[in-house]
Amino acid sequence: MNKQEFIAAVASNSGLSQADVARVLNAGIEQITAELAKGGEVVFTGFGSFKAKKRAARTGINPATKQAIKIPASVVPTFKAGKALKDAVNK
């Protein structure tokens, strides 16, 4: 399911217009992104949590040349599924 299909499904289930659902979804994504950019965490109880995690610098290998390369430190977004979501998926 892509974003447009998701918007259509939510609009159908909620009785809202696709334009309204798209605005709400985009605003939600912007808020999650802003919070993670600040280093924060967003938790939806039962669904899961989004968190910004620091990844240390490390040495890797270029698979084409087999040469060692330095991979710089970075911050990556992570998602951890909540119990209710895990249970729903594993039924």
Q: What is the pLDDT of residues 40-89, one digit of tens each?
A: 999 999 999 999 999 999 999 999 999 999 999 999 999 999 999 999 99
pLDDT over threshold 90, residue 3: yes
Read off the pLDDT of each residue in 26-34 and give the average, rounded to a whole number.
Answer: 97
pLDDT score at 26: 97
Q: Please tell me whether residue 67 adopts helix, strand or coil conformation.
A: coil
Domains and CATH numbers, the chain: 3-89 (4.10.520.10)
pLDDT score at 91: 86
Whole-structure pTM value: 0.80
pLDDT score at 24: 97
CB 37 within 8 A of CB 16: no
